[in-house]
Amino acid sequence: MDKTIHCIPGDCLVKSDEWMTGLKGTYSRNGYIYASIAGTVKLVHNNDNTKTIEVVTVSGDGNRHLVPQLGSIVTCRVLSITCNLVRLNIHCIEGQVLKQPFRALLRKEDIKEVDSEKTQICNCFRPSDIILAKVIGFGENNSCLVTTAHNELGVVVALNHSGVWIPMKPISWTQMSCPITYACEPRKVAQLANPCMH
């Protein structure tokens, strides 16, 4: 008999050697099939003795809980950095503000498109920065994996930490400057249309 369950992105659903993935809503990794969207999981026993799994989103009353999906552009706040990892909270998905943030991780190799092995995270992001990123997968404990390895992704708002707590302005794709003290700090700046950029 067919069975339905509910899931959110990153949930482990079944072993991939026992089930075939549907066209949408799932992905395979390390011998298991995971949910890539939130919705209802359909485990279907086919007539040819094969089993297919798919995730179907269910429309509610217009007030359903928004969750990150593969490919979503998200707005995040940097919580902390290490030499290999950036910890983030996702506060917006495709411009829609969330009621509660999602946890996210940005790995060193996913920060830039080129020379990722030479990347120094402290020259790209600082705690409290607001960044644009893209969801590329799901990690443990329902955390998202994101990337900024595209020109249009990266820091969009940064605060100067030299005693003046005001937003800095981008002066290049790798630096931002305090408009009062003119102090410069390195960042992986999102290449958005900005008349102040030169």
CB atoms within 10 A of CB 134: 20
Torsion of CA 33, 37, 42, 45, to 10 degrees: -30
Over residues 75-101, the pLDDT tens digits come to: 999 999 999 999 999 988 887 888 788
**Chain Cα centroid distance, residue 129:** 15
pLDDT tier at 53 (50, 70, 90 boundaries)?
confident
Q: What is the mean pLDDT of residues 19-46?
A: 76
Q: Between 112 and 61, whose confidence is greater?
A: 112
- Return the H-helix or E-strand segment holding 130: strand 130-138
DSSP letters, 35-103, are: ESSSEEEEEEE-TTS-EEEEEE----SS-PPP---TT-EEEEEEEEE-SSEEEEEEEEETTEEEEEEEE
pLDDT for residue 67 is more than 90: no
Cα separations in angstroms, 179 against 98, 187, 189, 194: 31, 16, 16, 15
Name which of 90, 182, 70 is nearest 130 in CA terms. Answer: 90
Q: Can you list the domains of the chain with their CATH numbers? A: 3-56 (2.40.50.100), 73-186 (2.40.50.140)
pLDDT for residue 58 is more than 70: no
What whole-number distance in Å separates Cα of residue 53 and Cα of residue 64?
A: 23
Over residues 134-179, the pLDDT tens digits come to: 999 988 777 899 999 999 999 998 987 665 567 888 999 999 998 8
Stated pTM of the model: 0.67
pLDDT tier at 127 (50, 70, 90 boundaries)?
very high
Name which of 108, 196, 188 is nearest 151 in CA terms. Answer: 188
Supply the pLDDT for residue 193. 56
Q: Find all residues with CB under 8 Å of 86, minimum gap 6, and list them.
A: 78, 80, 105, 106, 107, 111, 121, 125
